[in-house]
Structure 1
Amino acid sequence: MGHESHSHDQHAQRHGHHVGDGRALTRTAIKATAHCLTGCAIGEVLGMVIGTALGWSSGATVILAIALAFVFGYSLTIVPVLRVGIGFGAALGVALAADTVSIAVMEIVDNAIMVVIPGAMAAGLTSPLFWGALAASLAIAFVVTVPVNRVLIRRGKGHAVVHQYHH
């Protein structure tokens, strides 16, 4: 993946940021994390709803939620990259480089929270406990993942890889 070799300086210059501009870097990290959260939330909610509706165990439901979070998270990166004429293999490589760490961190945090909140996984789809725990777990995962994405972007990795295809 030759695209990963871009330095933070090159990334910052392409996006009009001054090198060392911490606020601009933080804004970029927040946008990248929001992008990640969108795909993760779609997959996470869908997985939790399917697993809970089918009466699956917490473990099976979490595995489904994680799998779907990765599918939807990667899809939200792959589709726009494909639209600029990049082949599927290259687009998949960009998505893997851009989103893997971010999605993994987000999934570890939000699923751990769902499992440790007493009764959340067993509460059922009509329960405010289920939906409140799910919303809180995604919000906390977002807050935890922003600094991770900030570090990755500063190093020219993570979501920084995909930016060259958006501009």
Structure 2
Amino acid sequence: MDHSTHGTHGTQHQHHPGHHGQPASAASWSTAVKATLHCLTGCAIGEILGMVIGTALLWGNVETMVLAIVLAFLFGYSFTLFAVLRVGLAFRTAIKVALAADTVSIAVMELVDNGIIALVPGAMDAHLSDGLFWSALLGGFAVAFLITTPVNKWMIGRGKGHAVVHTYH
């Protein structure tokens, strides 16, 4: 499907995969970095908020991590959702665009970040006032960014992921 005109009456730019289903040209690293930073911002806000809430409520590690992951997805999707709603997309279409644009990126980021937190000795039991909590969290974000950027570059180069959002700019 040609996303460049779907739901927009042909008023958008024609950034889409090549003709007849051919892959789009390779995405630039700059575009991939911007897409990953966009995703990381939403994920970080949601995840930190979830960790703070779970820790403040004295929840266990599993409950806190589940809340953090749910909020990471929620905030990650919301950044894209609100951006495409501002350009006039209908709500249902905007939801589909956000899901298509961000699901893989957020999933990779959360898998890597939370995996690192789980593997750092003592990080799961650290409190908000502990340096270990923040270093494990921020270190996890940094590694997740490094791993997710090439994934986003690959997806954008094939007209997937954040490339879907760019058809509406």
Structure 1 unaligned blocks of 5 or more: 10-18
1:80 partnered with 2:90: no
Do 2:16 and 2:167's aligned partners in 1 also have CA atoms closer than 8 Å? no
Q: Which amino acid aligns with 2:131?
A: P
> What letter matches 2:106 in structure 1?
I
Question: TM-score, normalised on structure 2?
Answer: 0.86
Residue 131 in structure 1 maps to residue 155 in structure 2: no
Within 5 Å, which residues of 2 pair with 1:48-67? 48-67=51-70
User: Is the CA contact 1:8–1:153 (under 8 Å) kept in the aligned structure 2?
Assistant: no
Q: Deviations over 1:6-42 (max 9, x none)?
A: 3168xxxxxxxxx45xxx6111111100000000000
- Partners of 1:74 and 1:122 lie apart in 2 by 29
The answer to whether the Cα contact below 8 Å between 2:110 and 2:144 also exists between their aligned partners in 1 is: yes
The residue aligned with 2:156 is 153
TM (normalized to structure 1)? 0.87
Q: Specify the alignment match of 1:97 in structure 2.
A: 100
**Corresponding pairs, count:** 155
Per-residue deviation, residues 37-68 of structure 1 (Å, max 9, x unmatched): 00000001111111122221211111111100
Aligned residue in 1 for 2:16: 6
Q: Secondary structure of the residue that 2:47 maps to in structure 1? A: helix
The root-mean-square deviation of aligned C-alpha atoms, in Å, is 2.0
Q: Tell me which moved more, 114-123 or 73-82.
A: 114-123
State the match for 1:43 in structure 2: 46
